[in-house]
């Protein structure tokens, strides 16, 4: 994935566009005729709901494909016509079939044409090679991504995780750390002050695990940050009469408990979009205001999200990478948070006192001067961060009232390090990103009814 840093939106496009470009190029070049394929460029578009979200990107990449395809195709046709006219052939440009009765000028022209054809064929072969390379790279990336996701899912389980770490600490000799969808170079990460909040988690000690001392520091930092990200939570407060908000994912209830100090039971859900997905969420009504539904997300999906969610996950993962990189200052984190939640302020609070860092998004504020709802009325922005504030209005708007009321990321009463960690958490959480993306998608589909694929959970939740 893209680790080159930069703004979230740019990263998203940088990450996703090449994939579609590759697909498009593959489609164009995979029919055995390379760029000389006479099929209209528009056929390189893949129709289907999953692609609709990327309509803009598709058009861009298609245009790229067409720009490669079309000029050569025209030349070929033109040359063929010229050959036919001058040589009297029916489509063949083979000089061996030309009778000797032609003039010297015709012969010279024929030679020129043949040279041009040869050059075009050579160019065509090169382009085919490029297409093949791009296609292979694309497949390799897909495979790599799937591997990372699989490894990550296999390693996640709070308790088993703790046992695993214990085993490592006990000298199990397992030196290979879990591989997360690590988007930042390990050595670029700061020697984080973000100690693991996980009570069951303890980073391996240098000596006890036989780590290379030169690598131990970054390993410990990485582990601590991973643990932070893994255990940090995103809590969303919103008004809803529904028992559960619709966030685009499928959930299965696995438990319910009465929490202390709250007459309302707390329900526990886990993601069922894929077997073994570690993402869980808790749903509970606010003790003070029963109309407020508090949804807390934890974990990272181990399965491909719908394309929009995937794109957003890429964006936010990149953002996390940026946040966790050594060059990232807390000011960057604040700016990122502001970009991701430009309308947030009082709605976003970060708790460092909880067992796990928890970011709380309070969407229950009064609707006065509500930029979020105003935002809904505007055409969707292409840039994801700009679209982010519309997320909650869109995702939750159909089921609940959704408010926020300011435009700066003020009101945080925690240290810059905590802000960075929590911001990373909120952006890392695929549920959050999925929700963001689903919302953007719903808005786009709302503005582009022609796509006609609005039948996702977001819309289902708005009925």
Per 3-state DSSP, what percentage of the chain is helix, strand, and coil (rounded to 5)? 50, 10, 35
Q: How far is the CB of 262 from DNA (least distance, A)?
A: 8
Would you list the DSSP string of 48-108?
SHHHHTTHHHHHHHHHHHHHHHHHHHHHHHHHHHHHHHHH--SS---GGGS-TTS-HHHHH
303 binds DNA (CB under 7 A): no
Residue closer to DNA by CB (options 177, 197) is 197
State how far the Cα of 81 lies from the Cα of 93, in Å rounded to an integer.
10
Please identify which residue in 56, 121, 191, 250 interacts with DNA, judged by CB under 7 A.
250
Residue closer to DNA by CB (options 75, 266) is 266
170 binds DNA (CB under 7 A): no
Contact code string over 139-158 relative to DNA, x by CB under 7 A = ------------------xx
Taking the alpha carbons at both ends of the chain, their separation in whole angstroms is 36
- Segment interacting with DNA, rule: CB under 7 A, options 125-133, 211-219, 246-254, 387-395: 246-254
- Segment interacting with DNA, rule: CB under 7 A, options 251-259, 321-329, 405-413, 440-448: 251-259
Please identify which residue in 10, 55, 162, 383 interacts with DNA, judged by CB under 7 A.
162
- Segment interacting with DNA, rule: CB under 7 A, options 27-35, 214-222, 248-256, 369-377: 248-256
Please identify which residue in 24, 240, 282, 365 interacts with DNA, judged by CB under 7 A.
282
DSSP annotation of 365 reads S
Query: In degrees, to the nearest 5, what angle opens at C-alpha 426 toward C-alphas 140 and 237?
Result: 135
Q: How far is the CB of 219 from DNA (least distance, A)?
A: 21
* C-beta separation of 201 from 243 below 8 A: no
List alpha helices for 97-172, DSSP H. Answer: 104-155, 158-169
Residue closer to DNA by CB (options 230, 428) is 230
255 binds DNA (CB under 7 A): yes
Residue closer to DNA by CB (options 20, 268) is 268
Please identify which residue in 59, 199, 290, 378 interacts with DNA, judged by CB under 7 A.
199
Q: How far is the CB of 269 from DNA (least distance, A)?
A: 7
Please identify which residue in 104, 173, 213, 260 interacts with DNA, judged by CB under 7 A.
260
**What are the b/e assignments for 359-382, b being 16+ CB within 10 Å?**
bbbbbbbeeeebebbebbeeebee
257 binds DNA (CB under 7 A): yes
358 binds DNA (CB under 7 A): no
255 by DSSP, 3-state: which?
strand
38 binds DNA (CB under 7 A): no
Query: In this structure, which long-range contacts are made by residues 170-176, counting pairs with CB atoms below 8 Å and at least 24 apart in sequence?
Result: 170/208, 171/208, 171/209, 171/210, 173/209, 173/210, 174/209, 175/209, 175/210, 175/211
256 binds DNA (CB under 7 A): yes
128 binds DNA (CB under 7 A): no
β-strands 233-239, 358-362 pairing: parallel
* C-beta separation of 355 from 197 below 8 A: yes
Summarize as ranges the residues that interact with DNA (CB under 7 A).
157-159, 162, 199-200, 250-261, 266-268, 272, 280, 282
């Amino acid at each position: 994935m893209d680790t080159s840093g930069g703004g979230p939106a740019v990263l998203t496009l940088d990450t996703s566009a090449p994939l579609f470009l590759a697909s498009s190029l593959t489609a164009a070049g995979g029919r055995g005729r390379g760029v000389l394929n006479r099929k209209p460029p528009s056929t390189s578009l893949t129709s289907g709901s999953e692609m609709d979200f990327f309509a803009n990107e598709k058009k861009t990449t298609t245009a790229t494909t067409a720009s490669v395809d079309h000029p050569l195709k025209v030349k070929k046709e033109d040359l063929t016509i010229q050959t036919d006219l001058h040589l009297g052939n029916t489509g063949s440009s083979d000089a061996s079939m030309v009778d000797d009765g032609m003039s010297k000028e015709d012969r010279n022209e024929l030679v020129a044409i043949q040279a041009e054809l040869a050059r075009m064929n050579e160019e065509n072969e090169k382009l085919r090679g490029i297409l093949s390379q791009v296609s292979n790279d694309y497949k390799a990336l897909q495979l790599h991504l799937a591997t990372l996701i699989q490894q990550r899912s296999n390693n996640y389980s709070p308790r088993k995780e703790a046992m695993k770490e214990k085993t490592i600490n006990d000298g199990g000799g397992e030196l290979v750390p879990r591989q997360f969808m690590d988007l930042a170079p390990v050595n670029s990460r700061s020697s984080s002050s973000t100690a693991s909040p996980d009570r069951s988690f303890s980073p391996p000690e240098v000596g006890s695990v036989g780590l290379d001392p030169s690598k131990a520091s970054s390993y410990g930092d990485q582990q601590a940050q991973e643990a932070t990200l893994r255990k940090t939570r995103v809590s969303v407060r919103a008004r809803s009469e529904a028992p559960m908000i619709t966030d685009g994912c499928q959930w299965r209830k696995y438990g319910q408990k009465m929490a202390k100090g709250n007459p309302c039971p707390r329900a526990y859900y886990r993601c069922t979009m894929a077997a073994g997905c570690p993402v869980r969420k808790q749903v509970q009504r606010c003790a003070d205001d029963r109309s407020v539904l508090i949804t807390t997300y934890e974990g990272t999906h181990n399965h491909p999200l719908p394309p929009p969610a995937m794109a957003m996950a890429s964006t936010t993962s990149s953002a996390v990478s940026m946040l966790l990189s050594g060059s990232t200052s807390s000011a960057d984190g604040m700016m990122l948070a502001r970009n991701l939640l430009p309308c947030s302020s009082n709605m976003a609070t970060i708790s460092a006192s909880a067992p796990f860092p928890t970011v709380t998004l309070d969407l229950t504020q009064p609707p006065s001067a509500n930029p979020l709802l105003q935002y809904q009325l505007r055409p969707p922005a292409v840039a994801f961060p700009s679209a982010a504030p519309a997320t909650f209005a869109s995702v939750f708007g159909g089921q609940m009232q959704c408010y926020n009321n300011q435009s700066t990321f003020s009101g945080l009463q925690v240290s810059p390090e905590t802000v960075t960690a929590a911001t990373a958490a909120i952006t890392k959480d695929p549920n959050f990103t999925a929700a963001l993306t689903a919302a953007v998608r719903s808005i786009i589909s709302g503005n582009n009814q022609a796509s006609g694929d609005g039948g996702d959970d977001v819309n289902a939740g708005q009925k």
